[in-house]
């Protein structure tokens, strides 16, 4: 998914959002079908890797689409609604997969067919219901329409006025994410979300140790606990009206919707999310005993779900507001680093739990996330100064 983002984000800023959404979804479905038909484990791993590359589009282009459609005030509610809903998807999938795989009624391949069917439904919705939102492409289409109905060749969009070939435009789009590597905000947010994802992935690797081995649950029942994490993600909905009201007051004070600074997007993490991640891990780590009710662990998972979702919202919204039309390129680098690093680090997860036990393994994760917990609060006060160090924000 990290590698696929290198193509999805830049291509969406060249060919438009919808072409990339529809094209990548169609390719994703092909690889999922191939994975379901794979004759051996090696083939399935290969096809799943290719499917992951194709599935990266929403991770980087969704932020760009929302930046296209909504002003800053409207993004206060639109992006959280999108993010909270999407963040719950993996939890629901984990519950479904836990029962489909071991089932005697259907083949394990139905885990792939379920994804294929749902992806087909999404592709149909994209093709039938989703309009193009990328502003420069819409202007190009509008100019072409005026030339056609008037016969006047003077109507040109900015993209057409600039003397650039398709190859040069693609080259510019493909290199932009790497130019953003030097952006202080991108570096700070990438570090933050990458470490959070390392914690998430390593935490999930230990799921059997936490719930199956300690409490004697089977795989299906252990994965039902993901419903608790899903509930935690949904708690963030309760803060959307409050933060929208606070943002609206800031806008009213400034007089227009661009008056407030991107730092207010950090409120979602500052309202406890940044702190609750390490708290929930400490809580879970030191109550993970068979003699202590499993409900303690379940409530800790609820708190963890709330925390990681709030951090995800604040990181994405902060980057979207800082880079607007080029937020897809900015999110490309963030997605690449967090998935490559966090995905790679999971290989140490099982040895960590086996050698240290769940108590100390979760304590280490809590300490790591605790060290980074002050980042939203620091950026809230010093973010404007850090953004001023950007070499590309104005030119981009």
Domain residue spans of the chain: 5-132+164-387
pLDDT band for position 396 (cuts 50, 70, 90): very low
Give percent of the chain above pLDDT 70. Answer: 91
325 DSSP 8-state letter: G
The mean per-residue pLDDT over the stretch 368-389 comes to 86
pLDDT band for position 259 (cuts 50, 70, 90): low
Give percent of the chain above pLDDT 90. Answer: 30
- CB within 8 Å of 251: residues ≥ 6 apart: 72, 73, 257, 259, 260
> What is the three-class DSSP state of 395?
coil
For residue range 274-321, list pLDDT tens digits in order. 999 999 999 999 999 999 999 999 999 999 999 999 999 998 888 888
- CB within 8 Å of 316: residues ≥ 6 apart: 63, 79, 83, 331
Q: Domain 5-132+164-387: which CATH class?
A: mainly alpha
Q: What is the pTM assigned to this prediction? A: 0.85
Q: What is the spatial distance between Cα 164 and Cα 44, in angstroms, rounded to a whole number? A: 41
For residue range 198-223, list pLDDT tens digits in order. 888 888 888 889 998 889 888 888 88
Average pLDDT for the chain: 85
Name the residue among 373, 347, 288, 325 with its Cα closest to residue 159: 325
Q: What is the spatial distance between Cα 38 and Cα 382, in angstroms, rounded to a whole number? A: 52
């Amino acid at each position: 998914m990290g590698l696929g983002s290198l193509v999805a984000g830049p291509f969406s800023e060249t060919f438009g959002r919808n072409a990339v959404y529809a094209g990548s979804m169609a390719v994703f479905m092909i690889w999922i079908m191939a994975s379901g038909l794979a004759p051996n484990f090696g083939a399935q791993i290969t096809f799943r890797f290719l499917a992951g590359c194709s599935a990266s589009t929403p991770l980087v282009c969704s932020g760009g689409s929302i930046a296209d459609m909504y002003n800053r005030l409207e993004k206060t509610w639109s992006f959280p609604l999108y993010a909270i809903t999407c963040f719950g998807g993996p939890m629901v999938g984990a519950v479904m997969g836990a029962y489909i795989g071991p089932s005697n009624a259907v083949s394990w391949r139905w885990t792939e067919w379920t994804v294929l069917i749902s992806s087909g439904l999404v592709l149909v919705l994209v093709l039938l219901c989703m309009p193009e939102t990328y502003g420069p492409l819409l202007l190009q289409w509008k100019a072409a329409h005026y030339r056609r109905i008037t016969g006047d060749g003077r109507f040109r969009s900015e993209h057409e006025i600039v003397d650039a070939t398709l190859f040069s435009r693609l080259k510019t789009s493909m290199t932009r994410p790497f130019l953003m590597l030097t952006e202080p905000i991108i570096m700070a947010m990438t570090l933050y979300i990458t470490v959070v994802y390392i914690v998430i992935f390593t935490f999930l690797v230990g799921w059997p140790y936490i719930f199956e081995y300690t409490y004697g649950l089977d795989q299906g029942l252990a994965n039902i606990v993901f419903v608790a994490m899903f509930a935690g993600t949904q708690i963030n909905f309760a803060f959307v009206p409050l933060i929208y009201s606070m943002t609206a007051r800031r806008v009213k004070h400034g007089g227009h919707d661009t008056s407030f600074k991107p730092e207010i997007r950090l409120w979602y993490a500052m309202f406890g999310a940044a702190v609750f991640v390490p708290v929930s891990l400490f809580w879970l780590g030191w109550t993970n005993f068979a003699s202590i009710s499993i409900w303690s662990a379940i409530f800790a998972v609820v708190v963890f779900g709330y925390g990681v979702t709030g951090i995800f919202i604040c990181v994405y919204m902060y980057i979207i507001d800082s880079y607007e039309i080029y937020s897809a390129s900015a999110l490309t680098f963030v997605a690449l680093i967090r998935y490559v690093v966090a995905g790679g680090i999971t290989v140490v997860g099982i040895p960590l739990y086996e050698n240290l036990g769940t108590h100390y393994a979760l304590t280490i994760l809590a300490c790591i996330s605790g060290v980074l917990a002050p980042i939203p609060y620091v950026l809230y006060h010093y973010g404007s100064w850090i953004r001023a160090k950007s070499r590309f924000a104005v030119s981009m």
